Amino acid sequence: MTKSIVVSLPHTLGVAEAKKRVNERLERLRTDYIGKIGHSELTWTSDRADLRVVALGQTTTGQIDVMADAVRIEIHLPWLLSALSPKVEGLLARNAEESLRLGPPRP
């Protein structure tokens, strides 16, 4: 049985800029973290990204929907990783918030 996590964050960037920032953050996470412990796939269809991460013998899937005024992230954790859902949810929220923040990134 999987555990679903949903994070929605409002923004005022518009679809194109929000999508650009989300994609940049995803690519950085894939390079800096995921690529070192597993395999990931990212496919954009219009303003929706479909994700698949395989690490430590577990497969996690998810979707990111970029809308004009919000970004919605839904991740499906396999049962073995469901105990980590509070930490995963916090990580998702922090990364999305940082990506969508106006102004220069925090140090």
For residue 106, being part of any structural domain is answered with no
For residue 7, being part of any structural domain is answered with yes
For residue 78, being part of any structural domain is answered with yes
CA geometry: angle at 87 spanning 32 and 14, to 5°? 65
For residue 105, being part of any structural domain is answered with no
Mean pLDDT, the chain, rounded, equals 85
pLDDT tens, residue by residue, 63-72: 999 999 999 9
Structural domain boundaries enclosing 52? 3-98
For residue 107, being part of any structural domain is answered with no
DSSP H or E run through 61:
strand 58-66
User: With the C-alpha atoms ordered 28, 29, 30, 32, is the resulting torsion angle positive or negative?
Assistant: positive
pLDDT tens, residue by residue, 46-95: 999 999 999 878 899 999 999 999 999 999 988 877 777 777 777 777 87
Q: Is the model's pLDDT at 104 over the cut of 50?
A: no
- CATH number of the domain within which 27 lies: 3.30.530.20
- pTM, two decimals, is 0.80
Domains: count for the chain: 1
State the angle between helix axes of 15-29 and 85-100 in degrees (0 to 180), rounded to the nearest 10: 130
Dist CA 103 CA 107 (whole Å): 12
pLDDT tens, residue by residue, 19-31: 999 999 888 888 8
For residue 83, being part of any structural domain is answered with yes
